[in-house]
Amino acid sequence: MATSLQELGRVVVQDILGDLCAEVFAILSTNGRSTRARLLQLSGLPQRQLKITLACMTQLHILLHQTTDDEQSFYQIDWRNTYSLIRSSRIQCLVEDRYGVRAGKVIAFLLQLGHARVQDLAEAFDLPSQEIPSGATYENGVRPNDSSKDNSGKTSTIGQLHATIRKLLAAGLVVKVGNQAYTPTADIQAEIEELVISAHFPDRKVGGPKKQTEFRMAVNSMKRKRREAEDFSEQRDARSSGVNGRAIKRSKLNIGNDYGAGSGHDDSGLRLLDDLVLRVNYAQCTSALRSQCLEELAEECLGSATAAVYRALLRVLEGKQRARDDVIQPTEASDDEKDDHPIISTVEIADTLDSSINLDIFVAANDSRMTNGTEKAKQKTTQSAEDAENDAALGIVKREPLDSDDDHAATGFYSHRDRGLRLELIEEHLKLLDEHQLKFCERVGPAGRGEWRVDFTPLIDALIQRNIDATIMSRLGPVHMRVVRMLRDKGRIDEKQIAAASMMRLKDVRSFLTQLQYAGFVESQDVPKDNQRQPSRTIFLYFYDRQRVQDQLLQRTYKSLSRMFQRLQLERQRYASAIEKAEKMDANQEALNQNEREAVMQWRAVEEKLLLQVDRLDSQVALLRDFSGRNVSLLS
């Protein structure tokens, strides 16, 4: 168990739930899976207090529990969900950017409570639970609480809330809480395997490749059936609101449109059941944060237009490849891991891409307005024969940009010619992404104007290596960076070979290698020339292990995060009196005197700096641990 991760989890739980929950968390992190009787013995708490503490931690999905046949309950820590509490602010900002303020408020409420019913969400927004009759008439033709013209993101009707939740469910950012949400994955796996062996293998022998394949297929089939039975379904978990079928059809068609579900214009259609329990899907949120990180990198390398195309590609990919905590292992291992990645066509990317984005990167921006506000006459410039020959030799193709004043472009419908031109432009941007050294995507087929897929493993590995290089550069310097790159390219070499290849003195090379080895970026291996193992008769080979450096940086980031939360608690204690008084005088800040107002402003400034640093460190953890898609253990 990583001590730094234990300390970070305890500090986070203490900051959110208090000292009592932090004490129980520390006991579970030290002793592992324990029964309630064992926790009573180790903590010394009264039984009632322990029950309340376990209930609070279970509510936030910090704990998993399993009850055996003899009615004995075992508790263990869900490390991924515990760490995801740190990522709450980033998840809320991400949802607000994608789906609006209304969806961000729903996510914030679920993050605060862990899980909640739809009825609880309606009560939190102070919405009436009764339905408005479909045939009712209203004074002046305006229904009460109509917010169709309200762009502030305020949820005023029950229909808007349900439409927003349906949009989050469709995106996978919110999932239904099933019966096995708190059961550890290992216990579910053991239970399913036992059921399969009892049903299909009476002799309890699963030896041999043929029986092993049948066994894995039966286990995966039962997992899928359980997953489908517990996943959200409109047939099981939704009902009609009493409006006509035409409105329901319109709401379904607009579910992915900005002017559809959740935008303030959809106050009709399906209603979710009040007893439907929902929670945040942290795995899908992490996948969305990965897409955001790659979008920013693509914009930095290739520009905003190409980044917009890449954003649309990643959005389509998120819809096809839903991230889950319980991964179903494939029946047979594929020779090529890329075969398991979903394929996306250019047409799908064009349907997702915003039609207002100008994708023609070969034409300069053309301003249609003059400085005095009058329109310029639209002139078509002609190119000389010499320029045309030069462009043809360089392979540059110049096209006229799509007319933004065209009626079809304004409404979002393109003619066949304009759509074909836009598909060509999208394909050219995808080729730029494919030809980049980071290999943002790759072409796999010609169907649908081109088929594409993204292999995240080498892409994230390249990002991790760039992050490690930047860390070495900032901490030690450019010469140390040269030595590390040399070791990465050549493998295990001794100091004399390093000095010869880098054209530096042997004395300086030894100094740099000592600093790198002390910082943990370089390892050494001694190879004795004889059995006496004397230093003078020993060759010292230096090498660079990226995985070891990555794990070391991850543990250091855990430790830095725990120090940030400890400093946050210390600063909160320093300004405790001013903070308490400001919270009491929330509606009337003028009641505070000048010193108290200055203390509150200083506290807010300190809190903002520390939380900003926490977000930066969390992005480091996400890159080093979560974005690769591998099943990286949190206990390493």
User: From CA 12, how far away is CA 82, in angstroms rounded?
Assistant: 8
> Tell me, what amino acid is at 257?
N
Average pLDDT rounded to a whole number, residues 473-500? 91
The confidence band for 78, taking pLDDT boundaries of 50, 70 and 90, is very high
The confidence band for 370, taking pLDDT boundaries of 50, 70 and 90, is very low
- pLDDT exceeds cutoff 60 at 263: no
The confidence band for 327, taking pLDDT boundaries of 50, 70 and 90, is low
Q: How many CB atoms lie within 10 A of CB 606?
A: 16
Task: Average the pLDDT over each of 121-135, 228-242, 320-334 and give the range with the smallest value.
Answer: 320-334
What's the distance, Cα to Cα, between the start and end of the chain in Å? Answer: 7
pLDDT in tens, 289-316: 999 999 999 999 988 899 999 999 999 9
Higher pLDDT pick, 385 / 609: 609
pLDDT in tens, 434-451: 999 999 999 988 776 788
Confidence (pLDDT) at 245? 44
Residues 107, 173: contact at Cβ < 8 Å? yes
Confidence (pLDDT) at 616? 94
- pLDDT exceeds cutoff 70 at 456: yes
Token pair belonging to 463 = 């990002």
Q: How many CA atoms lie within 13 Å of 585's alpha carbon, on the beta-carbon side?
A: 15
| Domain 3-77: CATH class, spelled out | mainly alpha
CB-based contacts of 548, cutoff 8 Å, min separation 6 = 520, 523
Average pLDDT rounded to a whole number, residues 81-104? 93
Following DSSP, what letter does each residue of 476-495 receive, concatenated? T-HHHHHHHHHHHHH-SEEH
Confidence (pLDDT) at 373? 42
Confidence (pLDDT) at 201? 86
Average pLDDT rounded to a whole number, residues 28-52? 92
User: From CA 629, how far away is CA 291, in angstroms rounded?
Assistant: 12
Nearest to 281 by CA among 97, 115, 98, 59: 115
Higher pLDDT pick, 346 / 371: 346
User: From CA 512, how far away is CA 533, in angstroms rounded?
Assistant: 25
CA triplet 550, 553, 555: central angle to 5 degrees?
Answer: 110
Sequence-ordered alpha helix ranges (H) in 182-281: 185-200, 209-230, 234-237, 245-253
Cβ-in-10-Å burial (0-12, 13-18, 19+) of 272 comes to: buried
- pLDDT exceeds cutoff 80 at 324: no
Confidence (pLDDT) at 389? 54
Average pLDDT rounded to a whole number, residues 479-500? 91
Confidence (pLDDT) at 588? 62
Confidence (pLDDT) at 260? 38
- pLDDT exceeds cutoff 80 at 609: yes
Confidence (pLDDT) at 633? 46
Q: What are phi and psi of 229, to 5 degrees?
A: -70, -25
Average pLDDT, the chain: 80
Q: What are phi and psi of 384, to 5 degrees?
A: -70, 160
Q: How many CB atoms lie within 10 A of CB 172?
A: 20
Higher pLDDT pick, 131 / 104: 104
Percent of the chain with pLDDT over 70: 77
- pLDDT exceeds cutoff 60 at 492: yes
Confidence (pLDDT) at 430? 92
The confidence band for 423, taking pLDDT boundaries of 50, 70 and 90, is confident
User: What pTM did the predictor assign?
Assistant: 0.82
In 253-355 the beta strands, taken as DSSP E runs, fall at 270-272, 277-280, 344-345
Higher pLDDT pick, 593 / 589: 593
Task: Average the pLDDT over each of 39-48, 77-86, 220-229, 604-613 and give the range with the smallest value.
Answer: 220-229
Nearest to 398 by CA among 412, 410, 384, 409: 384
Higher pLDDT pick, 627 / 153: 627
- pLDDT exceeds cutoff 90 at 367: no
Higher pLDDT pick, 422 / 412: 422
For the domain bounded by 284-329+340-362+420-454, which CATH number is listed?
1.10.10.10
- pLDDT exceeds cutoff 60 at 169: yes
- pLDDT exceeds cutoff 90 at 209: no
Average pLDDT rounded to a whole number, residues 53-80? 91
Average pLDDT rounded to a whole number, residues 544-564? 93
Average pLDDT rounded to a whole number, residues 479-491? 92
Q: How many CB atoms lie within 10 A of CB 342?
A: 11
Higher pLDDT pick, 329 / 595: 595
Confidence (pLDDT) at 355? 83
Average pLDDT rounded to a whole number, residues 144-165? 66
Percent of the chain with pLDDT over 90: 43
Dihedral of CA 287/290/296/301: which sign?
negative
Token pair belonging to 497 = 């070979």
Give whole-number Cα distances, 313 to 346, 438, 460, 536, 598, in Å: 9, 16, 17, 59, 48
| Domain 465-544: CATH class, spelled out | mainly alpha
Average pLDDT rounded to a whole number, residues 452-475? 92
Helix axes 576-584, 546-574, angle to 10 degrees: 70
pLDDT in tens, 498-531: 899 888 898 999 999 999 999 999 998 888 888 8
Average pLDDT rounded to a whole number, residues 242-261? 45
